[in-house]
Structure 1
């Protein structure tokens, strides 16, 4: 009888207090841990900030997302996603090299990051986000941090980053020393290639001697 009671009690404790191996699927949309009726701390009081390494994203170019504690506090649990404005569906995929964390599928494979144990995570952790292959609009990074069973901050959000396509701007400068309009054999012709990440059309500038 005592053994049966111990087994049942252990099951209750694990089911109520334990998500030591990662956030459950029930938290994918709400970002709220299933900790009975305990409410989240206000997101704007979170000891951790979520900061992307860029202000825009381009398909094929990864972005680092850094979790930084304002003090020395360490979290034990995390759920991290990239979401378009007005949506609760994560986009893109992740790479993690942070100890005791792993990738999770909420809607698509590897679209979320969560913890794999309840160990204390470093004060600063960085995860790598791979953008989707097409324009998903403005994106913010949403995270939930668990300090202990009774204390967590849900849906702590980064600034928004915008979609950008990488264009190459060709600036062609013809620097003529001769008044002859035929510059084919002009040794002073200079071609300069400038790279910009702003979504601008390709523009050609021709500067030369018009006489």
Structure 2
């Protein structure tokens, strides 16, 4: 008679152990380990690859802050129905759970402080696909990958079933539209007081260093004031800034070119001096 209580205990223990594989959802202890409480070991991916895949909808490969992304855990082989699973989004760099799961779909349960999603059922049922929705965090966490543990039977399960990595979306700066001033290739009259009578030779036309009256024009152009007798008369031209490689090719003005420039400007200087004298 003493054997019957012992046999009953063994049957109850076996039933409890069996129920871990087929309970309504993964236990909370799996939140950190992602391991089922089974007596067997996980299958080796090398000798027995998992027949399950994690697919991200629409082929998305990047994510933005607070973006909702739909994904599916599925198998194309009806003979390997998933009895249960737990799935999380983890950082590629340090394997930490990130983001949250929202809008629990049929047959799933959100758990682990919304960091994971698991199967959910009140009766025994197996499925070929589970759908879920992940909400990306509002901070930069780097690349993210979805990782799952999938149970096929009490003794057969796989850990480390992974999706392709999602990269943090980096917006490409849109090119700035050039204003009308940029349509000219050389000298353009600026928004200074008057227009110059002739271009002003400058060793480095992309830097306004000629006078103390440095005026910067719109669109990154620089006003180069015309200096007469070390005074700036507010007359200027705008020259488009040169790229570094082009600026390096600009040759300094020779002494002869400098003398010719002064001679060309001498009549203008005399006329202005005469006008100032008549004004006073």
- Structure 1 length-normalised TM: 0.70
How far 1:83 moved relative to its partner?
A: 0.3
2:273 is matched with which residue? none
Unaligned runs of 5+ in 2: 181-280
Indicate whether 1:28 and 2:34 are aligned.
Answer: no
Structure 1 equivalent of residue 55 of structure 2: 51
Residues in 2 aligned to 1:143 and 1:104: alpha-carbon distance in whole angstroms: 14
Contact 2:56 2:72 in 1 (8 A): yes
User: Are 1:88 and 2:99 an aligned pair?
Assistant: no
Return the structure number with greater relative CO, CA threshold 8 A, min gap 6: 1
Aligned residues: 172
Computing the radius of gyration from Cα coordinates, the structure with the larger value is 2
1:42 aligned onto 2:45? yes
Whole-Å Cα distance in 1 between the matches of residues 166 and 150 of structure 2?
22
The 8 Å contact of residues 57 and 163 in structure 1, kept in 2 or not, is answered as yes
Partner of 2:119: 115
Query: In proportion to residue count, which structure has more strand?
Result: 1
Secondary structure of the structure 2 residue equivalent to 1:122: coil
Q: Which residue of 2 aligns with 1:78?
A: 85
Report the secondary structure of 2:11's partner residue. Answer: helix
Say if 2:176 is the partner of 1:204: yes
Task: Give the secondary structure class of the aligned counterpart of 2:89.
Answer: strand
**Equivalents in 1 of 2:134, 2:45: separation in Å?**
26
Secondary structure at the residue paired with 1:80?
strand
Q: Structure 1 stretches of 5 or more lacking a match?
A: 165-197
The structure in which a higher percent of residues are helix is 2
Contact 1:16 1:36 in 2 (8 A): no
Distance across 2 between alignment mates of 1:4 and 1:141: 45
Match of 1:100 among 102, 107, 117: 107
Partner of 2:20: 18
Q: Superposition pairs for residues 126-141 of structure 1, below 5 Å?
A: 126-141=131-146
The one of 160, 181, 193 equivalent to 1:155 is: 160
